[in-house]
Structure 1
């Protein structure tokens, strides 16, 4: 049986709140480029909240979310939900607005069930999409309104719900404009990412995922190469590496405990694999 994760050492939401000297009891946080300027979170971390971000300026910078690399630049809408490991590789210099929030924001509302139905917050979802100028203007207006009423939680709850409805609309529009072949391959890639997020600790072989998708391992890798820019085995290894780095830096778990959590009965195999991926041992990475 896999060991239950103990992730109490680092929580980005709480960390940013401490940086901004905000009350922990408030279930949301507004952030912009200044919020991250001194935070300097340079390692993969697991999220504990929902997040919606809109980037207004800047050249595309790499943002790894789960098993996918995204180029986030001007006009990009980013969404991420709880439990997903991500790694921002840029310099946090672009103008943007982000709101982080927990389910507690909707604790006294029927809208909490709506929140859990949105696929772009889930592992394997499409976490970054481009918006046109009109959509950016619409989102920007709503973010400015949220800032105006910051501090009034009842109003913020309604405005965040409006933001969720708008984000869902943009995702639906993007899906309608996708070509049939691209839609099929995109669905294969999305399902693979969902399966990987669920089974990575026990299934590390490409054949397992191909069998679930009723396609050959070769075709699966061809689709993933076309859709995500990397073959299946590389995506599996990178996902496990992201999870490992998050646990090494975000928790107080030992290397052996992390190896067991990630499905390695023999810790030496994990150490060998990690060194192959990162060029240093897990213990050395933990000390960085």
Structure 2
């Protein structure tokens, strides 16, 4: 497990992460999928979006994966949730789900027109220094909570398309037998992505403060659940933080904290068999009754009802 992923999971050892075969067996159990995943798919695999997409026949609840997943479209439109935000990509765009990030397809998109590639890899599959932390952090789009969308320019579209076709062709024929060749293609692709990746800089000091607050919530929501906790970390008053975050995002800091807690809870409800009381404790809420009320306030159903709705237990 990468250093980045260990930092994300710090303080919550009860969260189970899906490996590739467990995830596909649960949500895409078709034999054709198993045949496409060759060798050790937790290290690396690549498939065509259209080949995998047609086997997704149900919503995928909030989940975590052990590795990085990147989708590139050559046609169509794809949307999914990364964290609590819904993102949409179109032709010549990529959607990046970094290792440990929460993702979901709670509203299943039944479109059959998507074309492109989906590839999935572990940090350790990268060659040389790039397979060891902190060098992987040179790829800003693989850092936790980074902007997950990447629009390719004309040159990048040409190069990325060529590299993905080569990766897919060799993997489809040989699995991981030509590991050094796959690693070289993958590294070249990631370097090309890094060239085009330009995370947005906050336009104002207020936007920067709101952005840093949201990052801290993702990191500390299991242990810090009051606005005053984050105000202290940011060296501002709680009143100032409330005003800035609400003005910049339209949401109160309390709502961001609650949503992060409940998103984590939904992962635990889906990926473990923990009783509701233990799920509550794992996300930092000792009072199970309060947790159920909070869950129902935002989700319109109890945690048990959520499990039933999603067909989880």
Q: TM-score, normalised by structure 1?
A: 0.83
The 8 Å contact of residues 68 and 121 in structure 2, kept in 1 or not, is answered as yes
For residues 13 and 122 of structure 1, the distance between their equivalents in structure 2, rounded to whole angstroms, comes to 24
Query: Are 1:109 and 2:128 matched, yes or no?
Result: yes
Q: What residue is the counterpart of 1:43 in the other structure?
A: 61
The structure 2 residue matched to 1:97, chosen from 96, 117, 124, is 117
SS at match of 2:61: coil
Q: What residue is the counterpart of 1:137 in the other structure?
A: 158
For residues 204 and 115 of structure 2, the distance between their equivalents in structure 1, rounded to whole angstroms, comes to 32
Q: What residue is the counterpart of 2:244 in the other structure?
A: 219
For residues 193 and 252 of structure 2, the distance between their equivalents in structure 1, rounded to whole angstroms, comes to 30
Within 5 A, what are the aligned runs for 1:1-288? 4-7=13-16, 10-12=18-20, 14-16=22-24, 19-21=33-35, 22-23=37-38, 25-26=40-41, 27-31=43-47, 32-39=49-56, 40-59=58-77, 61=79, 63-88=80-105, 89-91=107-109, 93=111, 94-106=114-126, 109-113=128-132, 114-150=135-171, 151=175, 152-171=178-197, 174-175=198-199, 182=203, 187-215=208-236, 216-217=240-241, 218-225=243-250, 230-288=251-309
For residues 274 and 138 of structure 2, the distance between their equivalents in structure 1, rounded to whole angstroms, comes to 32
- CA positional deviation for 1:14: 4.1
Which whole-Å deviations, capped at 9, do the CAs of 1:248-275 have from their partners, x for residues lacking one?
1111222111100100011111111011
For residues 24 and 54 of structure 1, the distance between their equivalents in structure 2, rounded to whole angstroms, comes to 23
Change (3 A) 1:121 1:72: same
- CA positional deviation for 1:6: 4.4
SS at match of 2:160: helix
SS at match of 1:55: strand
The 8 Å contact of residues 241 and 274 in structure 1, kept in 2 or not, is answered as yes
The 8 Å contact of residues 188 and 223 in structure 1, kept in 2 or not, is answered as no
- CA positional deviation for 1:130: 2.5
Runs of 4+ aligned structure 1 residues displaced above 4 Å come to: 183-187
- CA positional deviation for 1:109: 2.6
Work out which structure has the larger RCO, using CA pairs closer than 8 Å and 6 or more positions apart in sequence: 1
Change (3 A) 1:45 1:123: same
Change (3 A) 1:286 1:65: same
- CA positional deviation for 1:41: 4.5
Unaligned 5+ runs, structure 1: none
For residues 118 and 52 of structure 1, the distance between their equivalents in structure 2, rounded to whole angstroms, comes to 13
SS at match of 1:182: coil
Unaligned 5+ runs, structure 2: 1-9
SS at match of 1:263: coil
RMSD, matched Cα: 2.7
For residues 102 and 47 of structure 1, the distance between their equivalents in structure 2, rounded to whole angstroms, comes to 10
For residues 253 and 247 of structure 2, the distance between their equivalents in structure 1, rounded to whole angstroms, comes to 8
Which region of structure 1 is more displaced relative to structure 2, 86-95 or 184-193?
A: 184-193
Change (3 A) 1:2 1:181: closer
Change (3 A) 1:205 1:6: closer
SS at match of 1:110: helix
- CA positional deviation for 1:57: 2.4
Change (3 A) 1:136 1:186: farther
Q: TM-score, normalised by structure 2?
A: 0.77
- CA positional deviation for 1:276: 0.8
Total equivalences in the alignment: 276
